[in-house]
Amino acid sequence: MSDLIEHGKLFIGGELVDPAGAETIDVVSPHTEQVIGRVPHASRADVDRAVAVAREAFDEGPWPRMPLDERIAVVTRIKDAILARHEEIAKLISSQNGSPYSWSVLAQALGAMMVWDSAITVARDFVFEERRAGALGPLLVRREPVGVVAAVVPWNVPQFVAAAKLGPALLSGCSVVLKPSPETPLDSYLLAEIATGAGLPQGVLSILPADREVSEYLVGHPGVDKVSFTGSVAAGRRVMEVASRNLTRVTLELGGKSAAVILPDADLEAAVAGIVPNAWMNNGQACVAQTRILAPRSHYDEIADRLAAAASALVVGDPLDPATEVGPLVAERQRQRSLDYIAIGRQEGAKVLTGGGRPAGRDQGWYVEPTLFGEVANSMRIAREEIFGPVICLLPYEDEAEAVRIANDSDYGLSGTVWTADVEHGIGIARQVRTGTYSVNTFSLDMLGPFGGYKNSGLGREFGPEGFSEYLEHKMIHLPADWEG
């Protein structure tokens, strides 16, 4: 993608319009370090306009008043268009954020399509209104759309996370102002084009690329009824603080420091093959990545050797090369962050088993070698803090009780896995680990079940009927005691 991609307008309420200001965002390739795109930087005035049209669309427009089947038809066309253009979407996202193209096809593009499809499945079966027996008479319980939604998405999986918010928000009847990250705004223009082509009514969707200052203005806007945010813990705390001024409802999907527990009876070949791609997924830039690997002391050396060999064999290179398994980090600051944590790990006494710096011969691009630290104590910063890069910790444990204790000894609780010859026993481990999602002898993120975190990993859920409910208000209507309907 050598040609500069330039967009001079903002997508507000279904139309491409001139921005209120003249400021722009340069999109820089993490592989070449060259500018590959340029878009307008939305201002507070643009936020005001987007919220106003979203407010009108919700309060007076047809979208929330349409029969569900009609909303499903529009969203199905969005889903189908993403499937038809998935290769284009994958290449664009890889160019912006460095995701390996093979991973972008599956997770960034087809994964986003699956999120939209799952939201449709949930909507079809969702009970929006039900009769219920009350203590004083019959009740009618309704679930109604929450209103105008501010959806703030990160740079690591922009279309996947956008779909996680837009799918249930739109299907429930909400209008949305989507705020993509300044690192990855280009794919949002494809989404705008797709939404328009699908017949989404005027005002229902706006897309405003912007920095944190404008994001904060959007989150604190009095015309917004609900904020759905995905990002760091620090940013999530700020979102919650700002939204609380208006008592705006929030869903926060934040960070992780997830533990993969290898039990002594595990098939080590299968465990390593299952863990490695999900530890270094998306160049380590995934909140659900298995960044703490817990190995029994009795098998520690063998596991360390297997993991180090597998990590050192990962192909590092151009994100658009189909053979690449680990690409560059999204920005120079992220590369430096990983290098800083590698230095911290060494200072703390952990041992670099493989990697530990910039790849040889890659002076251009924001690359860091896939790095595995051994002999890590859970008290070390590299084991406690989310690095969000290709830096993984291998921790020893003496017995199963200690493994569970280490897995739970974290400020986070987003994901996790256990690897064992006994699936029933693995389920028992899963029940003890305080985390929002867990997998036994696999790693998956099923969009028909609830996704979210315990502790600092967030508030609320995405996916499944639980995530769908986040975009609805519950209303109770009392009926006369003798009314039979």
d(CA 374, CA 65) in angstroms, rounded, equals 57
- How would you list the strands of the sheet with 5-6, edge to edge? 5-6, 35-40, 24-28
**Residue type for position 338:** S
Residue 113 contacts residue 459 (beta carbons within 8 Å): no
d(CA 176, CA 471) in angstroms, rounded, equals 11
Q: Are strands 35-40 and 129-133 parallel, antiparallel or unpaired?
A: unpaired
Beta strands in 358-415 (DSSP E): 371-374, 391-397, 412-413
Q: What share of the chain is helix, strand, coil (3-state, %, to 5)?
A: 40, 20, 40
CA angle 236-188-247, nearest 5°?
A: 30
Query: Token pair for residue 223?
Result: 């015309």
Residue 304 contacts residue 262 (beta carbons within 8 Å): no
**Catalytic option among 287, 325, 369, 462:** 287
**Catalytic option among 174, 183, 216, 253:** 253
- Confirm whether 253 is a catalytic residue: yes
Closest by alpha carbon to 286, among 455, 97, 96?
A: 97
Which element (helix H / strand E) includes 37?
Answer: strand 35-40
Place of tokens 């189909």: 322
Residue 371 contacts by C-beta under 8 Å, 6 or more apart in sequence?
A: 311, 338, 342, 352, 354, 355, 356, 390, 391, 392
d(CA 172, CA 323) in angstroms, rounded, equals 40
Which element (helix H / strand E) includes 459?
Answer: strand 458-459
Angle at which helices 212-219 and 44-59 cross, to 10°: 30
d(CA 242, CA 228) in angstroms, rounded, equals 13
Residue 138 contacts residue 473 (beta carbons within 8 Å): no
Q: Are strands 371-374 and 351-354 parallel, antiparallel or unpaired?
A: antiparallel
d(CA 484, CA 341) in angstroms, rounded, equals 67
d(CA 459, CA 237) in angstroms, rounded, equals 11
Neighbours of 360 (CB within 10 A): 8
- Confirm whether 398 is a catalytic residue: no
Place of tokens 């079940």: 449
Q: Which residues are catalytic?
A: 253, 287
